[in-house]
Amino acid sequence: MNGILVINKEKGITSRDVVNSVCKKLGTRHVGHTGTLDPIATGVLVLGVNDGCKIIELLTASRKTYEAEVVMGLDTDTLDVTGNILKEENVNISKEKIEEVINSFPKKYNQQVPKYSALHVDGKRLYEYARKNIDVKLPSRDVEIYSLELLSVSDNTFKIRCDVSKGTYIRSLIRDIGNMLGIPCSMKELNRIKQGIFDISDAYNLEDIDASIKLISIKDALSDLDKIEVDNDTANKVSNGMVLPLDTKSDLVLVLNNDRLLAIYKRYDKDKSMMKPYKVFREDLWKN
């Protein structure tokens, strides 16, 4: 059993909890996720199973779409409602003002990472410093907001849908929207509805997973990459991990023989005429 599994994560469990449960249900130790969801969050969690783990790094680079509910007038140390309250105030912000800020929010900007996050700084995860009340300079990164839409407004909350680049923290995005509104804002709910080509409609609930589940093939999961069909002689060279001149302009390419996925090749030399194995898949995977 090799491939990709999309889970609709429920609230209150960690991404690691999901991985552990899937390992047990499928009888394998080789399961990995392609992007952590906090316990407060729900929705799309993409897992690699067995050889599917080999392509996790390719799937983490994709953009993601979220729906989030925001509490206005609330500031916490975690930037969401699970944290310690730092500030709470009554606010009266019109829907028109919120729409104005949403519509004018920068498409690209430098975003500060939350202190309660798993990002490593000097060998430790940021949340380890935060839990011990150790001050550390929070890193920032350039992110892109492909779209940002106001869905609804109700009393002291509003809902948004956002399509964002890899590495964007929605809690930080909500904080930054609040800064533009001139009020503190914190995340109340978060639902990831899409990651790359994987939609919430493709996702299974955790309780529905068993050994008979059909996985998304590695080839289908990487359908956005170029493909090259090779003859049997070249296929043997691929299986042995040989460097090859492949006729493609892409830096990454799927190599197939009779529509069986053999490997992923990537460019490596200066003149870009040769490609080397990036991931080679086992022969038993070819027969799936």
Q: What is the pLDDT of residues 178-201, one digit of tens each?
A: 999 999 999 999 999 999 999 999
pLDDT at residue 101 above 90?
yes
pLDDT digits (tens, 9 = 90+) for 1-25: 889 999 999 999 999 999 999 999 9
Residues annotated as catalytic (active site), given as ranges: 38
pTM: 0.88
Q: How much is the mean pLDDT over the chain?
A: 91
Domains and CATH numbers, the chain: 3-62+197-219 (3.30.2350.10), 65-188 (3.30.2350.10), 225-282 (2.30.130.10)
Alpha helices for 15-105 (secondary structure H): 15-26, 56-59, 95-104
User: Which residues are CB-contacts of 64 (< 8 A; sequence separation ≥ 6)?
Assistant: 35, 44, 163, 164, 166, 168, 192, 194, 195, 196
Query: Which whole number is the average pLDDT over 73-81?
Result: 96
